[in-house]
Amino acid sequence: MAVFLSNGLLGGGQQKEPATEPSTSAKLPSFVPTDLLNPIEEDTSTSTRHIDPADANQGLSEPPTFTLDKDSMTESRSFVSNGLLSGAEPVDTNQDPSARISMLNTETTPASRSFVSNGLLSSTEPIEANQDQSPQTPAPNTETTPASHSFVSNGLLSNIASSTSSFPMDRPPQASSSTLRFNVQARTFSGKAVYIRKKSKLLTNQPTQQLSSQKIGKLLDVPIHRLMDELSAATAARLAALPSREIDTKNAAPEDTLLVDRYRPRRYVELIGSERVARDTMTWVKMWDWCVFGRKKGKKRARDGDEELYDDDEYHRPRDKKLLLLSGPPGLGKTTLAHVIARQAGYEVMEINASDARSGQIVDDRIKPTLEAGATIGSKKPVLLIIDEIDGATGAGDSSATFIHKLVQLTQQKSKKKRNGQKNGPEVKKPILRPIICICNDHNAASLAKLRPYAYQIRMSRPADIHTVKRLRTICDAEGLKAETRALGTLVGIARGDLRSCLNTLQFIKSRSDEVTEAMIRRATAGTREADNTISSVLNSLFNPMTRKRVKELGLTEDQEGRYVSRLSQEIDAVGKESSIATGCFAHYANLRQLDANFSRYEKANEWLGVYDYMTSAMYSEGEFALSQYIPYLLIPFHPLFQERGSARVERSQADWEHSQTRRTNEEIFKSLAGCIRIASGKLGGSYRQFMSSPVLETEFAPYLNRIISPPLRPVNSQIVRPEERTLLTRLVNIMASLELRFMQERAEDGQLTYRLDPPIDVFVNYDGKRAVDITVTRYAVRHIVAGEVEAKLTGQRVDIVERSKPSFRSFFGSSDKSNAPSRTRLGDHADGPPSKRIKVDLADKPPTDFFGRPIDLTKITVANQAHQKKHAAKCFKISYRFAEGNSAAVRRPVKLDSFL
Amino acid sequence: MSLWVDQYRPRSLDDLHYHQGLSARLRSLAASGDFPHMLFYGPSGAGKKTRIACTLKELFGPGVEKIKIDQRIFLTPSKRKLEVNLVQSNFHIEITPSETGNYDRIVIQELLKEIAQTQQVDLNAKQRFKVVIINEADSLSRDAQAALRRTMEKYMSNMRIILCANSTSRLIAPIRSRCLLMRVAAPDSDAMGTVLDYVARRVGFDLPPDVAGQIVEDAAGNMRKALLVLEALKMQSPDLSGNLSIAKPDWETYCHKVADLIVQEQTPARVMEVRAKFYELLSHCIPPTVILKTVAERVVERVDEALKADIMHWAAFYEVRMRVGSKKIFHLEAWVVKVMSLYKQFFYGMDLTGFD
């Protein structure tokens, strides 16, 4: 209907369009004007079907029959907008077919809302509205919102539409009248009339319409003229302030702010450093747009048509990298980058840094509520969390209460929660739908180990010195400092690209003079510590001489260069992990190529390591922490001994760490073996206890036990083994059962079943991954037999214990029945230990046998029966008490009940 | 069912097979009623604990064989929990304080005081005192030993202490002077042969004398090891015939390999290779001093006479450092480098110091 209006208004200009359309258009229906004046109605009146020129272009892809869906409606709307805009631009929407594709799934409601509000608000700025329109139309992902937006604004402003300019006022009556119509008539090209029924459900949209019209009043609660006044007043104030600020920078400002703050980049384009890093960060933040803002900002996605590239989850968040980890040396602008990008992408920033407490509790108390709410209090923008200096947060160790652990849990849990959520209903916690950026210096920090797999990692590196120098130059110019480029270059070199420290130095110089020379910079930076100290960098400076470049940067003389002790000790001290450095030195020194004919240097190096170890262990065991200041000096000798120009970079060896890991697992195995021995000696009256102590267990017991429990057995059925093998097997089973060693069935990776010794004490005969030659690897079948027998034995023992408690109970009651005594003795060493479990009552006279014809003993049953009978008999029984049986042996004698009565 | 070592362990002083003189002395001590604190020392596997158990039986009668084993938890001042295994009967208690490492002092102090302050109540008991056996006394820390010395005197009326150690050298002199020292020497090969024969007879098979000889030779005075070897041998080749090889513990074989590597070649690459082997050994929880000792003994076997003394000297030197220090691998490697350097110097027949 609206369409028709627009066409009517535009007249002949449009008529050309159908002429250019392909022949298929013949089948398409032409539209028939049904209503002239309800332009607003377009939002709800989806029943209208029209074919506009734009549609005609699409004829090929669209079926000739009508579909009364939202899509067609939105198209019509977009067409209207163009029509009203200007007669010269009817083709606008036709330009890009993909534009329409993107429109197909837009929804009506947001469109209609934005339509009204924009229309009214943009009235003061007609030109801007037009500008909005024109760049966006060729863009592939033009959506209806801007289109309708521009429509109204233009409609209100254009002179041609003088008649329509009043339509906001007469909208209500129009709207109500349109709802009364049931159907709409349209006509095909062949002239056939088509009646289209109005979709009744769309009537529900009617309130929206009224609501939006109500909104007008709300939105403009400040009258427009007042707004205008305010605007002009503000501009006037700004203009007035301008000259005075220029004066300010000359005298007042320097005292006020640091250079660092004054020249902190505020916009994306002002960022310095690798553009790729900034771009990557931006891309990652933008990946959240769909989730955070809905479709509005997902512009790139549609253009590239590569939605599948973005691996989204159900909330359209990045699938597995839900965190961003930004790492790099200090002073490169990581925090600034994060802030700028967050602001640029339309977020409100919430920052947590080292000044806040960062225990696991904070995640629950502060982070989670904010992220779940989606915005900070009093702000309309969605929130973006920046966790600065995260490497200082708690996170190392296995505790689940650390900050990092909780954070990871927070980001990861929801997929799980989601699944539950569908079952449990709405009370389940909301997933976190806001991006989190973590910033750290050392991305290898131990505390971040858990975070790394879930984080998209971006590393910032030092930008090329030229860029930094250029930026410094701009700042110097703005500050009125005269600086030589050479001096600035030196400054950047000394600071290793740390822009913040450069600026601080400049400020320091500026406070004294207006000129920056190299000499001044040298003076100002004298004695500054090396900024970036990691274990590997220290190792490198221990094993490599200073690079020529670095020497030049620091402007050292040859004599100064030769003095390494204080320089290296400072470096080692700054890292503070002497033990790791010592291990690194130890791991590395023997890899060097240098010729050392008689190991004299090796001896010296080991001497120093020995002294180092002596000192540190003295320090820790005696608590002599005053020694700690001397520790760094014990590692410096590696420099004169092994420094070598151009040698390979020092790689931190993992050997020591791996060794400590395997050692820990093996210690655990020994511990469980010791536990087994304890149980065994508890059961057997202390017989194994001599093996429990440490050197004997490892050096004697473990290797020989392994041999004892691997006798050469043939894999045959346990029923038909030879007697000598039977005794062997019995003994093996007994030993294993008493030590609680078992063969556990397991499925290997290739799907084969294997038996594993548990606890796996066989690792102690495996060196270099090879088994000792004299121990035969028992075959699966053998282990199967042994495992079965051990299991039977253990069950038998358990039954035994139960039974043993019964007879004692019975004898207590003065049972005279001795006939059962022999049958109660432990079942022979033969493997059919557990038959008592399989007892069946045989009714025949012959002794009962089980399925295999072996006799079954009936102890259990008889015991039970007899106990029962005895209860009835209950002739004479004594009761005695035992008191405090145990170590002290304080009082321990039977007491008769009489003494209590 | 336990291993033969346990099953045929002598239970009373009369059953002991060797060191009859010592047994007689212990018996008369137990009978005298004036039983002193004692320190049993001697090499591993000589039968110290067996002898202690026998002495206890002599003192208190068969009641000491009713043993129960449990764990006790001690709390350090820093609220760390220490678990200590206690083996106890009504008359004695057996602890290994070195299980807790540096915290052994706490165990000694608390446990001993607690025991010492309770008197024997059982009027039927043969002795008025209780006995505390402290195993691995030579690995007691200095603090623990200091804690022990006064306790030993103060609670003499209620308690006797029997220390069990490999050597007396690491016990402080005040403790040594408070104890009656009992040296349990390693049995000679005849005695070991007798014991092996006895066990074989009890089990019910014939032990060929040459096999017994082999085992005895291999065990080098360690009775426990000999019996374990015997049982392993019997398990692996039940008829004890044919070409029997006495199994060495795997770590020992491996240590010998390391020694061979050191003697064969002296290069930085070899140093790295040896280091990897040391790591492997250490990760199998073999005590580093044992490693050093085994490797050093093997190296000494294979080098020239002139070097032997030096190599052993340095082994001893680095063992001390290793005990003091905490990074064992540093000292092991330091020794290896030292040995390689010595070997090279000897090989080239001159002192190369200051050569490059």
Chain B residue nearest residue A602, CA to CA: B337
Same domain? For B264 and B337 the reply is yes
Q: Which two tokens stand for residue A884?
A: 């405090």
- DSSP string covering A196-259: EEPPGGGGGHHHHHHHHHHHHHHHT-S-HHHHHHHHHHHHHHHHHHHHHHHHHHHHTHHHHS-H
Q: Which of A93, A80, A2, A84 is nearest to A45 (CA)?
A: A2
Round to whole Å and give the CA distance between A737 and A745: 16
| Contact state of B1 with A735 under an 8 Å Cβ cutoff | yes
Same domain? For B218 and B309 the reply is no
**Residue B330's pLDDT band (cuts 50, 70, 90):** very high
ipTM: 0.88
For residues A740 and A709, the answer to whether their CB atoms sit within 8 Å is no
Round to whole Å and give the CA distance between A64 and A876: 107
- C-alpha distances in angstroms, A68 versus A7, A48, A58, A65, A187? 21, 8, 16, 10, 15
Cβ-proximal residues to A269 (8 Å cutoff; 6+ apart), any chain: none
Shortest distance between the Cα of B272 and any Cα of chain A, in A, equals: 7
Same domain? For B162 and B132 the reply is yes
What pLDDT score does A311 carry?
55
Same domain? For B212 and B271 the reply is no
What pLDDT score does A295 carry?
59
The answer to the question of residue B354 being in a domain is: no
Task: Tell whether B122 is within 8 A of chain A (Cβ).
Answer: yes
Same domain? For B261 and B160 the reply is no
DSSP H or E run through A552: helix A548-554
Point out the residue among A696, A707, A764 whose CB comes nearest to the CB of B232.
Answer: A707
Contact residues, chain B, for A890 at CB < 8 Å: 121
Contact residues, chain A, for B102 at CB < 8 Å: 621
Same domain? For B170 and B30 the reply is yes
Q: What is the dihedral of CA A564, A568, A569, A570, to 10 degrees?
A: 110
Round to whole Å and give the CA distance between A666 and A672: 10
Point out the residue among A686, A701, A732 whose CB comes nearest to the CB of B67.
Answer: A686
Same domain? For B159 and B74 the reply is yes
User: What residues 44-63 of chain B have any CB closer than 8 A to a CB of chain A?
Assistant: 44-45, 49
Half-sphere exposure of A206 (CA within 13 A, CB side): 15
Same domain? For B158 and B296 the reply is no
Alpha helices, H only, B238-350: 250-264, 268-283, 288-302, 305-324, 328-348
Contact residues, chain B, for A731 at CB < 8 Å: 1, 235
* Cα A198 versus chain centre, distance: 50
How many C-beta neighbours within 10 Å does residue A39 have?
A: 26
Three-class DSSP labels, A840-859? CCCCCCCCCECCCCCECCCH
Residues B291-313: tens digit of each pLDDT: 999 999 999 999 888 889 999 99
Round to whole Å and give the CA distance between A23 and A15: 16
Same domain? For B202 and B268 the reply is no
State the residue for tokens 């990897």.
B276
For residues B151 and B112, the answer to whether their CB atoms sit within 8 Å is yes
For residues B39 and B181, the answer to whether their CB atoms sit within 8 Å is yes
| Contact state of A609 with B1 under an 8 Å Cβ cutoff | no
Point out the residue among B65, B87, B254 whose CB comes nearest to the CB of A689.
Answer: B87
What pLDDT score does A671 carry?
85
What pLDDT score does A639 carry?
87
Contact residues, chain B, for A888 at CB < 8 Å: 118, 121
For residues A451 and A407, the answer to whether their CB atoms sit within 8 Å is yes
| Contact state of B285 with A670 under an 8 Å Cβ cutoff | yes
For residues A695 and B44, the answer to whether their CB atoms sit within 8 Å is yes
For residues B191 and B18, the answer to whether their CB atoms sit within 8 Å is yes
Point out the residue among B49, B66, B353 whose CB comes nearest to the CB of A600.
Answer: B353
For residues B254 and B291, the answer to whether their CB atoms sit within 8 Å is no
Q: How many degrees, rounded to 5, is the angle at CA A667 between CA A663 and CA A670?
A: 140
For residues A439 and A389, the answer to whether their CB atoms sit within 8 Å is yes
Task: Tell whether B123 is within 8 A of chain A (Cβ).
Answer: no
Round to whole Å and give the CA distance between A20 and A43: 29
Q: Which of A543, A555, A554, A645 is nearest to A588 (CA)?
A: A543
Per run of 10 residues, the mean pLDDT along chain A (length 901 residues) is 40 42 42 44 42 43 43 42 41 43 42 40 41 42 40 41 40 43 74 75 48 53 79 80 48 62 82 81 82 58 44 63 82 85 85 74 76 71 83 67 78 51 44 81 76 82 82 84 81 80 83 78 66 73 78 71 81 83 86 73 89 90 85 88 76 82 88 84 77 81 84 73 80 84 80 80 80 72 82 80 57 45 41 43 54 63 54 62 57 73 73
| Contact state of A686 with B353 under an 8 Å Cβ cutoff | no
The answer to the question of residue B17 being in a domain is: yes
For residues A289 and A344, the answer to whether their CB atoms sit within 8 Å is no
Round to whole Å and give the CA distance between B35 and A799: 45
The answer to the question of residue B266 being in a domain is: yes
At A580, give phi and psi (nearest 5°): -65, -35
| Contact state of B2 with A602 under an 8 Å Cβ cutoff | no
CATH classification of the domain holding B68? 3.40.50.300
- C-alpha distances in angstroms, A60 versus A90, A102, A188, A349? 20, 17, 17, 48
Say what the pTM is.
0.60
The answer to the question of residue B355 being in a domain is: no
The answer to the question of residue B245 being in a domain is: no
| Contact state of B238 with A724 under an 8 Å Cβ cutoff | yes
Amino acid at A365: D
- C-alpha distances in angstroms, A297 versus A287, A406, A434, B40? 10, 31, 15, 84
Domain count, chain B: 3
Q: What is the spatial order of strands in the sheet that A348-352 belongs to?
A: A348-352, A383-387, A436-440, A323-327, A455-459
Q: Which two tokens stand for residue B54?
A: 């026998």
Q: Which two tokens stand for residue A854?
A: 């072996």
Q: Which of A409, A393, A410 is nearest to A353 (CA)?
A: A393
Three-class DSSP labels, A661-719? HHHHHHHHHHHHHHHHHHHHHHHCCCCCHHHCCHHHHHHHHHHHHHHHCCCCCCCCCCC
Q: Is the peptide bond before A33 cis (omega within 30 degrees of 0)?
A: no
Q: Which two tokens stand for residue A768?
A: 């270099």
Same domain? For B178 and B308 the reply is no
Task: Tell whether B320 is within 8 A of chain A (Cβ).
Answer: no
| Contact state of B247 with A737 under an 8 Å Cβ cutoff | no
For chain B, give the mean pLDDT. 87
Q: SS3 of B339, please?
A: helix
Round to whole Å and give the CA distance between A600 and B266: 13
Enclosing domain of residue B217:
189-236
CATH classification of the domain holding B273? 1.20.272.10
| Contact state of A586 with B236 under an 8 Å Cβ cutoff | no
**Which of B90 and A242 is assigned the larger pLDDT?**
B90
Task: Tell whether B65 is within 8 A of chain A (Cβ).
Answer: yes
Shortest distance between the Cα of B309 and any Cα of chain A, in A, equals: 19
Q: Which residue, among A672, A673, A690, would best test binding to B if mutated, counting the most B CBs under 10 Å from its CB?
A: A690
Helices vs strands, H then E, count in chain B: 14, 7
Contact residues, chain A, for B135 at CB < 8 Å: 693
Same domain? For B34 and B160 the reply is yes
The answer to the question of residue B243 being in a domain is: no
Same domain? For B86 and B120 the reply is yes
Task: Tell whether B237 is within 8 A of chain A (Cβ).
Answer: yes
Contact residues, chain B, for A675 at CB < 8 Å: none
What DSSP character marks residue B155?
T
Burial class (CB in 10 A: 0-12, 13-18, 19+), B236: buried
Number of CB pairs, chain A paired with chain B, less than 8 A apart: 237
Shortest distance between the Cα of B102 and any Cα of chain A, in A, equals: 9
Chain A residue nearest residue B9, CA to CA: A687
Q: Which of A699, A793, A780, A783 is nearest to A739 (CA)?
A: A793
The answer to the question of residue B312 being in a domain is: yes
Contact residues, chain A, for B285 at CB < 8 Å: 663, 666-667, 670, 698, 764
For residues A73 and A103, the answer to whether their CB atoms sit within 8 Å is no
| Contact state of A662 with B283 under an 8 Å Cβ cutoff | yes
Contact residues, chain A, for B290 at CB < 8 Å: 695, 699
The answer to the question of residue B172 being in a domain is: yes
